[in-house]
């Protein structure tokens, strides 16, 4: 007859390990949901800024890249400089520097 004393301990150990892993997954999901709810409460994100994913998880979507404002004066100045340089206006075109042998 075979000795089965060690087998029962191995089975119990595997069951407990699997249950702890499942509990860890539930705890991780809970923390993610809690974080998103806190961000919603503080106004850091809005309703469309997060997504529920398969398996009960939650994910915050990355912010959209900012679009440059057409009325931004810095952008308007840069376009004006490009236009003036193409037309050859002297007030925006720099004169070449004269190098001398002062050494």
DSSP-derived secondary structure letter, 57? E
Mean of pLDDT over the chain: 77
Highest mean pLDDT among 28-42, 53-67, 87-101: 28-42
Give yes or no for residue 102 having a pLDDT over 70.
no
The whole-angstrom separation of Cα 100 and Cα 103 is 9
Mean of pLDDT values over 10-37: 92
Residue with the bigger pLDDT between 32 and 96: it is 32
Give Cα separations from 47 to 39, 56, 67, 103 (angstroms): 10, 17, 21, 69
pTM of the predicted model as reported, rounded to 2 decimal places: 0.50
In this structure, the strands spanning 50-53 and 57-60 are antiparallel
13-27, 33-47, 52-66, 75-89: least confidently modelled range: 75-89
Residue with the bigger pLDDT between 96 and 57: it is 57
């Amino acid at each position: 007859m075979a000795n089965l004393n060690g087998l029962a301990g191995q089975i119990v150990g595997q069951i407990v390990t699997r249950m702890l892993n499942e509990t860890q997954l539930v705890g991780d999901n809970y923390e993610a949901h809690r974080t998103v709810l806190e961000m919603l409460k503080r106004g850091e994100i809005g309703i469309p800024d997060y997504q529920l994913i398969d398996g009960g998880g939650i994910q915050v979507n990355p912010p959209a890249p900012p679009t440059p404002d057409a009325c931004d004066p810095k952008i308007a100045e840069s376009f004006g400089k490009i236009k003036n340089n193409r037309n050859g206006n002297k007030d925006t075109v720099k004169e070449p520097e004269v190098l001398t042998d002062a050494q």
